[in-house]
Amino acid sequence: MKFCDECGSMMKSGEGEDHWVCDSCGNEIGRDDSDDEWTTQSQVESEIVDVSDAEDKGLPTTTAQCPECDNDQAYWYMQQIRAADESETRFFVCTECEHKWREDDH
């Protein structure tokens, strides 16, 4: 990324990519080899990891009775779903059947 010395706006590569051009004031300057190290993108190989069957959802667990299967363990998290001056709603997800339910503070 290069900024214009004249107006401070961000400059873009000109045609042929051998110079920088400012869209705001039209200032043009030549590019040197050190500019390429900041503007080129490298290819990074990524591996897709399937975690759909993973037991740990990254959420804390607690003792809570599932209304569907009567399991006594559930993951839980809090989420603000009402006005900011209202309390958060606690959601539970059963560790066995993945049934989801919520508990509101009244």
Is 7 known as a binding-site position? yes
Provide the annotated active-site residues.
Answer: 85-86
pLDDT tens for each residue of 1-28: 678 888 888 888 777 667 888 888 888 8
pLDDT of residue 27: 85
Task: Reply yes or no on whether the pLDDT at 90 is more than 60.
Answer: yes
Task: Reply yes or no on whether the pLDDT at 38 is more than 60.
Answer: no
For CATH 2.20.25.10, the residue range(s) in the chain are 61-103
7 with 27: CB under 8 angstroms? yes
Is the pTM of the predicted complex or chain greater than 0.75? Answer: no
CA distance 11 to 37: 16
Instruction: Name the class of domain 61-103.
Output: mainly beta
Give the model's confidence band at 34: pLDDT under 50 very low, under 70 low, under 90 confident, else very high. low
CA distance 101 to 69: 12
Average pLDDT of span 50-79: 80
Is 18 known as a binding-site position? no
Is 24 known as a binding-site position? no
